[in-house]
Amino acid sequence: MTASIYDFTLSRLDGSEESLAAYRGKVLLIVNTASECGFTPQYAGLEALYRQYRERGFAVLGFPCNQFGGQEPGDADIIGQFCQVNYGVSFPLFAKIEVNGDRAHPLFVHLKHAAPGLLGSEAIKWNFTKFLVDRQGRVVDRHAPATKPEELAEEIEALLAAAS
């Protein structure tokens, strides 16, 4: 098991590679996203959180995923355009990945193990599951898809205020 989220390198939506070490010292909200989901309007709330807290060391990292109801069928260009045009997304978006099963990305295997869901289940149940990571790279909480981004503001504030 990887010791830290900073050990992972992933593809961005534009195809470039990025190490999560670039986010060392920041509070992170890592979310599996989809463009055709009932929770898709949460992109607006995620972007609002990002704009509100990014200057204080916060980032939202979006990971499109097509495993739940086929709700992210588009390619990288379609996903990027959709997010920009409809929600003004400026937070980092990564290439489409799988979060469950044999082909689950190792980052999500790590996140799910560090913060299991209800009754200890590690499986992600749907799009817009949110993992909150502290400045030391530790997964501190997992939030269900129905949890609205704005409901996380107090928890984000506390992590931003904590000594790094």
Residue 93: pLDDT above 90? yes
The class of domain 5-161 in CATH terms is alpha beta
Residue 107 — pLDDT band, cuts 50, 70, 90?
Answer: very high
Report the pLDDT averaged over residues 142-147: 94
| Amino acid 117: pLDDT | 78
Q: Is 37 a catalytic residue?
A: yes
pLDDT at residue 128 in the model: 95
pLDDT for residue 3: 65
State the pLDDT at residue 1. 45
The predicted structure's pLDDT at residue 20:
96
Q: What is the mean pLDDT of residues 118-142?
A: 90
Catalytic one among 20, 29, 31, 37? 37
Mean pLDDT to the nearest integer, 114-141: 89
pTM for this one?
Answer: 0.94
pLDDT at 163 over 70: no
Of all residues in the chain, the percent with pLDDT exceeding 90 is: 86
Q: Residue 11 forms beta bridges with which residues?
A: 17
Confidence band, pLDDT 50/70/90 cuts, at residue 137: very high
C-alpha closest to that of 18 among 29, 26, 6: 6
Question: Is a pLDDT exceeding 90 seen at residue 13?
Answer: yes
Average pLDDT over residues 84-91: 92
Distances (CA, A) of 88 to 24, 72, 83: 25, 18, 6
Residues 6+ apart with CB under 8 A from 9: 17, 18, 19, 20
Q: What is the mean pLDDT of residues 68-93?
A: 92
**Which comes out higher in pLDDT, residue 119 or 76?**
76
Pairing of strands 27-33, 130-133: antiparallel
